[in-house]
Structure 1
Amino acid sequence: MRSAHAEMSFDADPRRVETARRVTAAVLGRAGVRDHDVVGTVQLLVSEIVTNAIVHGTANSVSFQITCDTAGDVLIQVDDHSSGGPEVREAGPDDEGGRGMQLVICLARDWGRKGTCTWCTFAVGSC
Structure 2
Amino acid sequence: MRTAHAAMSFDADPKHVEHARRVTAAVLGKAGVRDREVVATVQLLVSEIVTNAIVHGDANSVSFQLTCDAVGEVLIEVDDHSSGAPEVREAGPDDEGGRGMQLVSYFARDWGRKGTCTWCTVPVGSAAG
Alignment of 1:1-127 (within 5 A): 1-125=1-125, 126-127=127-128
The whole-number CA distance in structure 2 between the counterparts of 1:97 and 1:89 is: 10
Query: Cα RMSD between the aligned structures?
Result: 0.5
Q: How far does residue 34 in structure 1 lie from its aligned partner after superposition? A: 0.5
Question: SS of the residue aligned with 2:33?
Answer: coil
Q: Which amino acid aligns with 2:46?
A: V
Q: Cα deviations across residues 44-90 of structure 1 (Å, max 9, x unaligned)?
A: 00000000000000000000000000000000000000011112111
The whole-number CA distance in structure 2 between the counterparts of 1:30 and 1:10 is: 22
Q: Unaligned stretches of 5+ in structure 1?
A: none
Q: Unaligned stretches of 5+ in structure 2?
A: none
Which deviates more from structure 2 when the two are superposed, residues 82-91 or residues 110-119? 82-91
TM value normalised by structure 2: 0.97
Q: How far does residue 116 in structure 1 lie from its aligned partner after superposition? A: 0.2
Give the paired residue count: 127
Q: Which runs of 4+ in 1 moved over 3 A?
A: none
